[in-house]
């Protein structure tokens, strides 16, 4: 148990501190790096920060105390699905905006509306199990999750609809954009923070593969038996890992890393040296 507590604690600390630093750099140092797609980046960072602060901490507390009680149980279940949907939606919209080099006020508004829609869609699909009382605490997932006890047809309809709209469609968009981008060669393109998009796609795919496998196994069991406990535990730990990896991916971009280091340096080293603020030309 203590190994699991240590892993969750490390993921929570990395996720909260990393995403707070990322948001701070984006807010304070936007002039030091080029970012055409700042709306989906902000949506992704807020999603990762929310997951780190609420979901991972909730799982850590559940491991230590032995469960979660209502209404926090239902809130965690709803928020987790909203964070998953908003994350993959943000990366999908980032992929589209990067591929077609979209910019301008109209584009910003449309991407902002699309990101809000992904958050709302996740909240709606997360609320359905809460409304129908399909939620209970799962020690393997370390949080409250959906359990099916009565109708295979209800489970089949819900999971297929949720996966088709919230997971499969954005993932298909991500993969198509990645394949098209790989066939394009633009050596003169100016460096932009969106260059890290392929790494974000790869990290999301890697971290959420156990979660998808767990749900697919459930779909193949008409007796409504859940997937193996070890797989459910791995799916939770890996999905939390994505929130911790994304800040590291941001800082793999040279301009963003330099902006972050400049921010930390000026914050920790308040210089008392004289600063040049003006130059006056003297006539000789």
Give me the domains of the chain, ranges plus CATH numbers. Answer: 37-258 (1.20.1070.10)
Per-residue pLDDT, 281: 58
Collect the ranges in the chain with pLDDT lower than 50: 271, 275-278
Residue 202 near residue 249 (C-beta atoms within 8 A): no
DSSP per-residue letters across 30-86: GGGS--S-HHHHHHHHHHHHHIIIIIIHHHHHHHHHT---TTHHHHHHHHHHHHHHH
CA atoms of 59 and 238, how far apart (whole Å): 13
Note the pTM of the prediction, 2 decimals. 0.86
CA atoms of 185 and 183, how far apart (whole Å): 7
What residues pair up with 146 in beta bridges, in sequence order? 135
CA atoms of 145 and 135, how far apart (whole Å): 5
Reading the block at residue 76, the tokens are 């965690």
Burial class (CB in 10 A: 0-12, 13-18, 19+), 197: buried
Pick the closest to residue 15 from 154, 160, 173, 203 (CA basis): 203
Per-residue pLDDT, 274: 53
Residue 171 near residue 126 (C-beta atoms within 8 A): no
Reading the block at residue 47, the tokens are 């999603």
Residue 200 near residue 246 (C-beta atoms within 8 A): yes
Per-residue pLDDT, 66: 84
Could you tell me which residues come within 8 angstroms of residue 48 by beta carbon, excluding any fewer than 6 positions away?
15, 19, 83, 87, 242, 243, 246, 247
Per-residue pLDDT, 37: 85
CA atoms of 231 and 31, how far apart (whole Å): 44
For residue 248, the tally of other CB atoms under 10 A from its CB is: 13
Pick the closest to residue 90 from 213, 243, 229, 236 (CA basis): 243
Per-residue pLDDT, 277: 44
Per-residue pLDDT, 275: 46
Per-residue pLDDT, 54: 92
Query: pLDDT tens digit string along 174-212?
Result: 989 888 887 876 555 667 888 899 999 999 999 999 998
Per-residue pLDDT, 248: 94
Could you tell me which residues come within 8 angstroms of residue 183 by beta carbon, excluding any fewer than 6 positions away?
none
State how far the alpha carbon of 172 is from the alpha carbons of 21, 48, 97, 196, in Å: 30, 21, 15, 18
Strands (DSSP E) contained in 209-261 are none
CA atoms of 129 and 157, how far apart (whole Å): 12
CA atoms of 284 and 281, how far apart (whole Å): 9
Query: pLDDT tens digit string along 84-117?
Result: 999 999 999 999 988 887 777 888 899 999 999 9
């Amino acid at each position: 148990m203590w190994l699991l507590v240590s892993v969750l604690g490390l993921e929570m600390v990395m996720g909260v501190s990393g995403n707070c630093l990322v948001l701070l750099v984006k807010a304070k140092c936007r002039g030091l790096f080029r970012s055409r797609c700042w709306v989906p980046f902000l949506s992704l960072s807020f999603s990762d920060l929310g997951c780190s602060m609420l979901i991972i901490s909730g799982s850590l507390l559940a491991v230590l105390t032995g469960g979660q009680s209502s209404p926090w149980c239902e809130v965690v279940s709803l928020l987790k699905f909203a964070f998953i949907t908003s994350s993959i939606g943000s990366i999908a919209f980032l992929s589209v905006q990067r591929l077609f080099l979209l910019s301008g006020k109209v584009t910003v508004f449309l991407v902002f509306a699309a990101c809000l829609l992904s958050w709302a869609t996740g909240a709606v699909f997360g609320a359905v199990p809460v409304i129908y009382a399909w939620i209970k605490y799962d020690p393997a997932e370390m949080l409250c999750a959906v359990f099916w006890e009565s109708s295979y047809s209800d489970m089949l309809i819900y999971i297929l609809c949720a996966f088709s709209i919230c997971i499969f469609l954005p993932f298909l968009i991500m993969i198509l954009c990645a394949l098209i981008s790989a066939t394009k060669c633009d050596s003169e393109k100016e460096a932009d923070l969106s260059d890290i998009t392929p790494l974000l796609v790869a990290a999301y795919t890697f971290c959420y593969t156990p979660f998808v496998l767990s749900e697919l196994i459930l779909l193949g069991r008409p007796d409504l038996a859940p997937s193996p406990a070890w797989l459910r535990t791995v799916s939770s730990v890996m999905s939390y890992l994505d929130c911790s990896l994304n800040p590291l991916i941001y800082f793999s971009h040279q301009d963003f890393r330099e902006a972050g280091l400049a921010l930390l340096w000026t914050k920790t080293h308040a210089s008392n040296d004289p600063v040049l603020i003006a130059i006056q030309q003297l006539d000789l």
